[in-house]
Structure 1
Amino acid sequence: MTETEFIPKAYTNFPEKGKVGWKAPSNIALVKYWGKKANQIPANPSISFTLDVSATITQVSYTKKKVDSNGFSFDLLFEGKPKEDFKPKIQTFLERIEPYLPFLKKYHFVIETSNSFPHSSGIASSASGMSALALCFLSIESKIQDMELDFFKKKASFLARLGSGSACRSIEGDLVQWGHHQGLEMSSDLYGIKYPFVVDPIFKNYQDTILLVHKGQKQVGSTVGHNLMHDHPYAEKRFEQAHLNLDKLKPILEEGDLQGFMQLVESEALTLHAMMMTSMPYFILMMPDTLEIINKLWRFRKETNVPICFTLDAGANVHVLYPESVKEKAIQFIKDELVAHCENGHYICDQIGTGAKQLFEE
């Protein structure tokens, strides 16, 4: 599909008011995207596990304005309180999506949002937050104009991407690929798609325990980090590697190859941080405790043969991945050895989820 296909035909009906609510999950990339072009287009394709517990709940009330105006009108509440510092990001998002949702300036919106995980816990909430908001706005449009479910999901992913690139991978589950890749004809830079190939059952209920090594704002934001790939000396090789790893991942997932999975996922995580350390300016988001966790995990895996591995987001936190069949051993190891490296001993037990869910529509 092309961008123009997401521009609706002329509206004929405008409801006076209503309210919609969605719950959208976060996700964790297995093959990472790092670097983007204009309009939130990824420099390389990626694939992620959709999470379950780590999610954002967003409700949007809408009331038709009595007088048409050229501006956007909205109030924003985060966990029940006004959040003025969030409003510029929402304003930018509205400006980006308005060509595809031209009803937006006809309404006043009250946006109420909250996370299932503590704010500033160190989990990126932009993916879950922007996907939940995109779904709410699209539900409102579906009241104005009918649309098929498949188109609804694609457009929701397309809109979410304009708020946060990785948000396009939080509409569906359990594995979502985003970015054009020659090995997948239906793949697109414009939206994420549900991974269409055979996946062995061992990956169907995979666990993700998120170790919160560092809470709060990162020293270098993801947007800045992405932009540093433009003149990065190793960028092209990295983009090529991502395509190759997507090809390698296909038989790994199909055959249930845990050794191949762990090796590829950990390599991807370390490559992501290597790109940060070799950009100009260079920066390091891992903390000493991040490295301690990785080394302890490697030692435990070597001694016990328990198929447990790690991945990292663009920060210090560690996602510990393992099949459900070894959950008891993995959790005991995490409690005994790894929680000591978490800020205030804080960690979150999560697992693969099925994607966003509509909570209500009034």
Structure 2
Amino acid sequence: MISETDFITNNYSIKINQGSSTWSAPSNIALVKYWGKKQDQIPANPSLSFTLKNCKTITKLSYSKKEDTGNFSFDLLFEGKPKEDFKPKIQKFLERIETYCPYLKNYHLTIDTENTFPHSSGIASSASGMAALAINIMSLEKELCPSITDEFFYQKASFLARLGSGSACRSINGNIVVWGTHNEIPRSSNLFGVEFPTQIHPNFNNYQDTILLVDKGEKQVSSSVGHDLMHNHPFAEQRFLQAPQNLSRIKSILETGNIEDFIKIVESEALTLHAMMLTSIPYFILMKPNTLEILNKIWEFRNRTKIPVCFTLDAGANVHVLYPENVIVETLQFIKDELVGYCQNGQYICDEIGFGVQKL
């Protein structure tokens, strides 16, 4: 079994004065949710996610050798402009990964990043953002240590991304990713995400995700605070038993193509996530009235038409509408006719399953 110490690299055979790399990393949407974590970003239960295709972060990392190696040194640009309010999060991330990437203090870093989806659109960008930064850091490490394997390269990138944002480890590799140890997923780990191990049924090829932007404001309770509230949650232990069972079920469903059972698991998981928020101490609600209106409209439409449209939710008010590729026309018409009115400024984003990071 791989441990944290396996990611400590000290054999840097090449000296580099300056350079740069550019990668894109997608966002992802969990179908089996993780809610609650232990020390060092270790999940309390395993999770499974669809990697998205269009919602991604593009990050260029430039690095130049410096004389003072006592501290981290970096500039952060978002869409070409300095982004000071995000720098503390990057500083904390660099401190967390210092043991595994000691070479970073030798360089001044310029992190130039942008999103393909609207800024502050209510889509979690920490997953794609941290994944993009982590894979760029691994590009620098590969320059310094060319002997590292591709497997190690992507595995460590996922490991580093997790230390920035837990779900970011699911944005590195694969169209479907599992994070957290599970006895039916070979080589699964709490330390990094792994690609879904078996062939998925054609029913799930190019599966669609239309994201309805119900509320673009800042959440009243951050995900970090929400995770912490699971420590003394009255139903936490039951939830931590339920999630692996649901992951087993959805693994079988993805292999056999049963969309009806897929809908049951995915919607149940979404509502369970929000039930954990409703029953924590202190309790809180991240859904909005329009979120509930959309869920009811989806149920009503599915019952009426038998078109297999379903929803999932992240830790917020927005709704991910999931559906097979062969019902795009009918579903998009339904979204335009009946759901857009519940979105803030009528905004929604069309996406689908993607395949992880890309070097640009």
TM-score using structure 2 length? 0.98
Write the mapping of 1:1-362 to structure 2, written as runs, cut at 5 A.
Answer: 1-65=2-66, 67-146=67-146, 147-359=148-360
> 1:118 Cα deviation (Å)?
1.0
Over 3 Å counting, the alpha-carbon distance change for 1:69 and 1:251 in structure 2 is closer
Write the distance in 1 (CA, Å) between the matches of 2:251 and 2:273. 21
CA distance in structure 2 between the aligned counterparts of 1:213 and 1:120, rounded to whole angstroms: 12
Q: Distance in 2 between matches of 1:236 and 1:80?
A: 45
Cα distance between partner residues in 1 of 2:10 and 2:70: 20
The C-alpha deviation readout for 1:25-72, integer Å capped at 9, x for no partner, is 00000000000000000000000000000000000110000x132100
Q: Whole-Å Cα distance in 1 between the matches of residues 123 and 325 of structure 2?
A: 22
Whole-Å Cα distance in 2 between the matches of residues 304 and 181 of structure 1?
Answer: 37
Distance across 2 between alignment mates of 1:301 and 1:185: 35
Write out per-residue CA displacement over residues 186-236 of structure 1, whole angstroms, 9 at most, x where no aligned residue: 110000000002310111210000000000311100000000000000000
* Deviation (angstroms), 1:11: 2.0
The whole-number CA distance in structure 1 between the counterparts of 2:65 and 2:251 is 48
SS of equivalent to 2:300: helix
Q: Is the CA contact (8 Å cut-off) linking 2:24 and 2:132 kept in structure 1? A: yes
1:318 shift after superposition: 0.1
Q: Is the 8 A contact 2:11 2:145 kept in 1?
A: no
Give the SS at the match of 1:350: strand
The answer (yes or no) to whether the contact 2:185–2:196 under 8 Å persists in 1 is no
Structure 2 distance, partners of 1:175, 1:12, is: 35
TM-superposition CA deviations, 1:127-180 (whole Å, max 9, x none): 000000000011001000021111111000000000000000000120000001
Residue 255 of structure 1: how far off its partner (Å) = 1.1
Q: Tell me the SS of whatever aligns to 1:173.
A: coil
Shift of 1:182: 1.8
The SS at the match of 1:311 is strand
Q: Contact 2:266/2:311 (CA < 8 Å) preserved in 1?
A: yes
Distance in 2, matches of 1:82 and 1:5, equals 35
Any gaps of 5 or more consecutive residues in structure 1? none
- Report deviation, 1:10: 3.1
Which secondary structure does the structure 1 equivalent of 2:102 belong to?
A: coil
Letter in 2 for 1:261: F
Code of the residue aligned with 2:266 in structure 1: it is V
Query: Equivalents in 2 of 1:79, 1:177: separation in Å?
Result: 31
Q: CA deviation at 1:249?
A: 1.1
Q: TM-score, normalised by structure 1?
A: 0.98
SS in 2 for 1:63: strand
* AA of the residue aligned to 1:176: V
CA offsets 1:273-313 (integer angstroms, 9 cap, x no match): 00000000000000000000000000000000000000000
The alignment yields a C-alpha RMSD, in angstroms, of: 0.7
SS at match of 1:103: helix
Moved over 3 A (4+): none
Counterpart CA distance in 1 for 2:42 and 2:118 is 30
8 Å CA contact retained: 2:62, 2:109: yes
Secondary structure of the residue aligned to 2:52 is strand
Amino acid at match of 1:301: R
Q: Matched residues in 2 for 1:135 and 1:249: separation?
A: 29
Tell me the CA shift for residue 102 of structure 1. 0.8
Secondary structure, aligned partner of 1:120: coil
Distance 2:215 2:173 in 1: 28
**Alpha-carbon distance in 1 for matches of 2:273, 2:225:** 14
